[in-house]
């Protein structure tokens, strides 16, 4: 898929961030010249594995993750590693996490870097998840790129520790996206300080990729498409020539550009969310750049998970979404405009590619 | 005959002017209160069902895919649902979701819970213009 990308193009343009590959995983290609080596990694997110009873789990959510794992194993070129974007479980139960990890173990010898989602966290404050995965926020370097994984779904101590009779009640409230008793997501002072220190040692020409569960943007508070310290984190990313934020949680195509920072949401393997503006009783701010996906067809259970392939001729993201039962879409970086555009629909004034009756 | 008709018309006209019973479209403050109380009680019951993992058999709730009943567009029903192949009422579409993603059993169309769920969805869409072809 990247055969026609020359080393020179890549060198000139620096980081190429590409969300791509097959349904329902998202593959990301970072291409470099000079001392850096091209590589790809895969991105799987939001499987919401849900326990019914005994050995029964919700079939549809299971199928999404099983398919993602199978397609990841078949990808060519083989990704260097996999990032899991959070919300592996639905209610944070051991049974759900174990079942999810077991399905993820079907990956053929890949290193997996896990991001914490609120559904993995609020039953036991991430204890069981951490036993399996280690720290809840961390960074690592890979072939010249600095990766930062944040736990962006924590909230204040009073809500967490003093409001609910037990972890099950707390988890139940946070699992309801539209539950008014929830609380806005944040990374907190301690983690922000850690992030500041972590980024201090990274030179400005090193590409930085931040992986978080919630968007590091303020899109829609009602459903926590939101991170409280978004501006503070963006400020820390400003000094880098190329910074990218990849996030899950929103279960839909979103893209944005703020200063030098490119934002891309990854698809869920479980189900699509409606876009925030479809709920008119609360104010929302979907990035103006984003042309929304069509409303999903509920009669086709994998609809609105989409599948994507890549063109990185420009050295920047060019994401081709093949959406089942919908027209294909291409979102590509426009160097004149300095941000990603939908190559067909951007100029049409936010007109959806297809209306669903 | 003419006289009888004229007298009848006079009596009818008099009734319309004098009798409060004849003014059927009057909706006083108390009526509004009753209407609101009853409707909001149904909305509340509908919301409870909307987030209830026990509505179906697999623990999945409507709100998982439709937070705040978003992307349900109750104001557009009855409508031709191409996947079902006929014009359906909103309750039938909710039943489709109960049977499929929730792996449960359809409710009767006059079932109190099903009616309440429709009230809830309609309430969340209050103020949205009926915009044919857009939803």
Q: For residue A288, give every residue at least 6 positions away whose Cβ sits within 8 Å of its Cβ, in sequence order, or none.
A: none
A102 inside 8 A of chain B by CB? no
Residues A281, B97: C-beta atoms closer than 8 Å: no
CB contact under 8 A, B51 and A279: no
At A220-266, the pLDDT tens digits run: 999 999 999 999 999 999 999 888 898 999 999 899 999 988 888 88
Whether A51 contacts chain B with CB within 8 A: yes
* B125 in A contact zone (CB under 8 Å): yes
B53 touches chain A (CB under 8 A): no
**Token duo for residue A229:** 């310290």
**B112 CA: distance to closest CA in chain A (Å):** 23
pLDDT-based confidence at B21, cuts 50/70/90? low
Measured CA to CA in angstroms, residue B108 lies from B38, B91, B97 at distances of: 21, 9, 14
- pLDDT tens string B75-121: 999 999 888 899 999 999 999 999 999 999 999 999 999 999 999 99
Instruction: Measure the CA–CA gap between A182 and A225, rounded to whole angstroms.
Output: 12
Please check whether residue A249 touches B, CB under 8 A: no
Cross-chain residue pair A298–B60, CB shorter than 8 Å: no
Q: Is A277 on the interface with B (CB under 8 A)?
A: no
- A272 CA to chain B: closest CA distance, Å? 7
Cα A281 from Cα B68, distance rounded (Å):
9
ipTM above 0.90 for this complex = no
Q: Is the dihedral of CA B19, B25, B27, B32 positive or negative?
A: positive
Angle at CA of residue B117, ends B115 and B123, nearest 5°: 105
Within an 8 Å CB–CB cutoff, is residue B70 touching chain A? yes
Sign of CA dihedral A305, A307, A310, A314: negative
Q: Which residues contact A307 (CB under 8 A, 6 or more apart)?
A: A21, A22, A23, A24, A321, A322, A324
How far apart (Å, rounded) are the C-alpha atoms in residues A65 and A99? 11
- For an interface test with B, the pick among A177, A284, A355 (most B C-beta atoms closer than 10 Å) comes out as A177
Half-sphere exposure of A320 (CA within 13 A, CB side): 9
pTM of the predicted structure, to 2 decimals:
0.86
Residues of chain B found within 8 Å of residue A357, distances taken between Cβ atoms = 79-80, 82, 133, 135
d(CA A330, CA A343): 6
pLDDT at position A68: 87
Amino acid B117: pLDDT: 98
End-to-end CA distance of chain A: 35
Question: Are the beta carbons of B101 and A51 separated by less than 8 Å?
Answer: no
How far is the alpha carbon of A53 from chain B, nearest alpha carbon, in Å?
9
Beta-bridged to residue A41, according to DSSP, are: A28, A81
Q: Let me know: does B77 contact B69? Beta carbons within 8 Å.
A: no
pLDDT value of position A226:
96
Can you tell me which residue has the tokens 């490119």?
A: A262
Q: Give me A146's structure tokens.
A: 């600095």
DSSP notation for A164-227? -SSHHHHHHHHH-TT-TT----B-HHHHHHHHHHHHHTS-TTS-EEEEESS-SS--BGGGTB--
| Residue A158, pLDDT score | 97
Low-confidence stretches of chain A (pLDDT < 70) are 1-37, 304-328, 333, 348-357
Could A177 and B67 be called an inter-chain contact, meaning their C-beta atoms sit closer than 8 Å? yes
- Nearest chain A residue to B48, by CA: A179
Please tell me the distance from the alpha carbon of residue A246 to that of residue A149, in angstroms, as a whole number. 10
pLDDT digits (tens, 9 = 90+) for A120-175: 999 999 999 999 999 999 999 988 889 999 999 999 999 999 999 999 999 999 99
| Contacts by residues B82-87 (CB-CB < 8 Å, ≥ 24 positions apart) | B82/A357, B83/A297, B83/A299
Q: B58 and A52 in contact by Cβ < 8 A?
A: yes
pLDDT, position B129: 82
Q: Using CB atoms, pick whichever of B59, B100, B134 lies closest to residue A355.
A: B134
Phi, psi of B4 (to 5 degrees): -60, -45
| pLDDT value of residue A341 | 78
Cα of A73 to nearest chain B Cα, Å: 28
Phi, psi of B123 (to 5 degrees): -65, -45
Put simply, whether A200 touches B (Cβ < 8 Å) is no
Instruction: Pick the closest to residue B113 from B94, B97, B126, B100 (CA basis).
Output: B94
């Amino acid at each position: 898929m990247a055969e026609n990308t020359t080393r020179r193009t890549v060198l000139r343009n620096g980081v190429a961030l590409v969300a791509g590959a097959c349904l329902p995983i998202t593959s990301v290609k970072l291409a470099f010249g000079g001392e850096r080596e091209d590589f790809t990694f895969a991105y799987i997110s939001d499987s919401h594995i849900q326990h019914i009873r005994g050995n029964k789990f919700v079939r549809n959510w299971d199928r999404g993750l099983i398919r993602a794992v199978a397609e990841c194993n078949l990808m060519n070129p083989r990704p260097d590693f996999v990032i899991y974007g959070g919300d592996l479980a639905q209610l944070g139960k051991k049974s759900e996490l174990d079942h999810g990890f077991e399905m993820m173990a079907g990956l053929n010898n890949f290193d997996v870097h896990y991001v914490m989602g609120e559904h993995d966290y609020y039953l036991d404050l991430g204890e069981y998840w951490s036993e399996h995965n280690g720290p809840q926020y961390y960074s690592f370097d890979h072939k010249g790129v600095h990766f930062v994984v944040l736990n962006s779904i924590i909230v204040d101590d009073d809500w967490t520790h003093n409001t609910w009779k037990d972890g099950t009640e707390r988890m139940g409230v946070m699992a309801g996206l539209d539950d008014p008793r929830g609380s806005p997501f944040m990374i907190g002072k301690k983690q922000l300080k850690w992030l500041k220190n972590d980024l201090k040692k990274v030179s400005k020409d090193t590409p930085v990729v931040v992986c978080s569960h919630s968007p590091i943007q303020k899109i829609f508070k009602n459903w926590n498409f939101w991170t409280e310290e978004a501006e503070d984190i963006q400020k820390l990313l400003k000094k880098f020539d190329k910074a990218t934020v990849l996030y899950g949680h929103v279960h839909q195509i979103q893209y944005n550009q703020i200063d030098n920072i490119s934002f891309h949401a990854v698809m869920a393997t479980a189900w699509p969310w409606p876009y925030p503006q479809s709920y008119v009783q609360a104010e929302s701010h979907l990035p103006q750049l984003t042309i929304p996906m069509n409303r999903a067809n509920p009669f086709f259970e994998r609809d609105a998970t989409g599948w994507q392939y890549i063109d990185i001729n420009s050295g920047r993201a060019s994401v081709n979404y093949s959406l089942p039962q919908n027209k294909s879409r291409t979102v590509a970086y426009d160097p004149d405009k300095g941000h990603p555009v939908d190559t067909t629909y951007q100029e049409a004034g936010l007109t959806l590619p297809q209306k669903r009756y | 005959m003419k006289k009888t008709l004229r007298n009848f018309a006079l009596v009818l006209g008099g009734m319309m002017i004098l009798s409060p019973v004849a003014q059927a479209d009057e909706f006083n403050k108390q009526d509004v209160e009753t209407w609101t109380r009853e409707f909001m009680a149904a909305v509340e019951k509908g919301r409870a069902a909307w987030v209830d993992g026990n509505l179906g058999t697999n623990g999945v709730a409507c709100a998982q895919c439709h937070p705040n009943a978003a992307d349900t567009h109750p104001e557009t029903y009855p409508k031709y649902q191409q996947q079902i192949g006929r014009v359906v009422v909103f309750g039938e579409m909710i039943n489709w979701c109960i049977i499929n993603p929730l792996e449960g059993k359809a409710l009767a169309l006059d079932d109190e819970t099903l009616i309440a769920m429709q009230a809830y969805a309609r309430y969340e869409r209050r103020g949205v213009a009926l915009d044919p072809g857009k939803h």
